[in-house]
Amino acid sequence: MASLKQNNNRKIEDETTSSRKKISTTTTINRISLRNKTLKKDLLLPPTNIDNVIKNKKLKNSIEEKYLFKKYSHPYQNKNNTKLLDNRSSLSATDTKNPYLINSEPFSITKRLFPKTEYPSSQRDSLNSITSEKVSLMTALEQSSVVQPLLTDLYQISMAYAYWKANKYQEMATFDLYFRKNPFGGEYTLFAGLDECLKFVRDYKFHQTDIDYLRTVLPTYTEQEYFDYLLKLDMNDIKIFAVPEGTVVFPRIPLLRIEGPILKTQLLETTLLTLVNYASLVATNAARFRSAIGDEKTLLEFGLRRAQGPDGGLSASKYCYLGGFDGTSNVLAGKLYGIPIKGTHAHAYVSSYESMDDLTERELCDRLSGERRPFADLCVKYLNELGPILKILPEQTNKGELAAFASYALAFPTNFLALVDTYEVLKSGLPNFLAVARALHECNYQAVGLRLDSGDLAYLSLEVRSKCKEAATKFNISYFKDFNIVASNDINEETLVSLEKQGHAIDTFGIGTHLVTCQKQPALGCVYKLVELAGSPRIKVSQDIEKVTIPGRKNLYRIFGHDGKALCDLLTRFDEPAPQASVKILSRHPFSDQIRAYVTPTSVQSLYKLYWADGEIKEQLPTLKDIREYAKEQLHQLRKDHIRDLNPTPYKVSVTNSLFTFMHELWMRNIPIGELE
pLDDT in tens, 381-413: 999 999 999 999 999 999 999 999 999 999 999
What is the mean pLDDT of the segment spanning 222-243? 98
Same domain, 164 and 260: yes
Alpha-carbon 298 to chain mean position: 17
453 lies in the same domain as 538: no
Read off the CATH number of the domain in which 542 is found.
3.20.140.10
Average pLDDT over residues 532-551: 93
DSSP-derived secondary structure letter, 396: G
Per the structure, the complete domain to which residue 171 belongs is given by 154-288+523-669
pLDDT 10s digits, 250-299: 999 999 999 999 999 999 999 999 999 999 999 999 999 999 999 999 99
Quote the Cα angle for 167-268-160, to 5°. 25
> How many whole angstroms separate alpha carbon 412 and alpha carbon 356?
18
Three-state DSSP state, 235: coil
More confident residue, 145 or 243: 243
Q: What are phi and psi of 439, to 5 degrees?
A: -65, -40
In a domain, 430, yes or no: yes
In the listed set 439, 458, 485, which residue is the last one of a domain according to the structure?
Answer: 485
Supply the pLDDT for residue 143: 62
The Cα 307–Cα 517 span in angstroms is: 6
- In three-state secondary structure terms, 605 is strand
Residue 165 scores a pLDDT above 70 = yes
Q: Are strands 536-537 and 527-533 parallel, antiparallel or unpaired?
A: antiparallel
Task: Based on the fold, state whether residues 596 and 545 are members of the same structural domain.
Answer: yes
Q: What is the pLDDT of residue 50?
A: 40
Is residue 675 domain-resident?
A: no
Would you place residue 341 in the very low, low, confident or very high pLDDT band (cuts 50, 70, 90)?
Answer: very high
Same domain, 160 and 281: yes
Q: Is residue 243 very low, low, confident or very high in pLDDT (cuts 50, 70, 90)?
A: very high
> Is residue 180's pLDDT more than 90?
yes
Please indicate, yes or no, whether residues 479 and 545 belong to a single structural domain of this protein. Answer: no
Q: What is the mean pLDDT of residues 219-240?
A: 98
Give the count of domains, the chain.
3
Examine the domain organization and report whether 238 and 359 are in the same domain: no
What is the pLDDT confidence band of residue 8, given thresholds at 50, 70 and 90? low
pLDDT in tens, 542-560: 888 889 999 999 999 999 9
Q: Which candidate, 84, 77, 111, 486, places its Cα nearest to that of 302?
A: 486
**pLDDT at site 105:** 34
Whether 353 shows a pLDDT value over 60: the answer reads: yes
Please tell me the total number of residues recorded for the chain in this structure: 677
Same structural domain, 272 and 202: yes
Residue 47 has pLDDT above 60, yes or no: no
**Residue, of 113 and 305, whose pLDDT is higher:** 305
Same domain, 536 and 627: yes
CA distance 46 to 127: 9
What per-residue confidence (pLDDT) applies to 671?
86
Helix (H/G/I), strand (E/B), else coil: 386:
helix
Other CB atoms within 10 A of residue 413 CB: 24
Same domain, 479 and 538: no
Mean pLDDT of 295-321: 96
Range with lowest mean pLDDT among 6-20, 25-39, 327-341, 410-424: 25-39
Domain boundary among 485, 508, 543: 485
Residue with the larger pLDDT of the pair 43 and 199: 199
CA distance 235 to 111: 55
In a domain, 59, yes or no: yes
Let me know how many helices (H) and strands (E) the chain has, helices first: 24, 23
Do 457 and 586 fall within a single domain? no
Q: Is the pLDDT of residue 121 over 50?
A: no
Between residues 49 and 491, which one has the greater pLDDT? 491
Percent of the chain with pLDDT over 70: 79
Mean pLDDT of 438-458: 98
In this structure, is residue 111 part of a structural domain?
A: no
Judged by DSSP in three states, 523 sits in coil
User: What pLDDT is attached to residue 245?
Assistant: 99
Both 353 and 415 in a single domain? Answer: yes
Answer whether residue 125 is part of any domain.
Answer: no
Look at 206 and 143; give whichever has higher pLDDT.
Answer: 206
Averaged pLDDT of the chain = 85
Greatest pairwise CA separation for the chain in angstroms = 102
**pLDDT computed for residue 17 by the predictor:** 52
> Which pLDDT belongs to residue 437?
99
> What local confidence, expressed as pLDDT, does residue 14 receive?
54
Looking at residue 557, its pLDDT comes to: 99
Please report the pLDDT score of residue 145 as a whole number. Answer: 82
What local confidence, expressed as pLDDT, does residue 198 receive? 98
pLDDT classification of 59: cutoffs 50, 70, 90: very low
Same domain (yes/no): 283, 382 = no
* Structural domain contains residue 500: no
> What's the rounded Cα separation, in Å, for the pair 39 and 13?
39
Domain boundary among 51, 66, 81: 66
User: Does 222 reside within a domain?
Assistant: yes
Inside any domain, residue 300: no
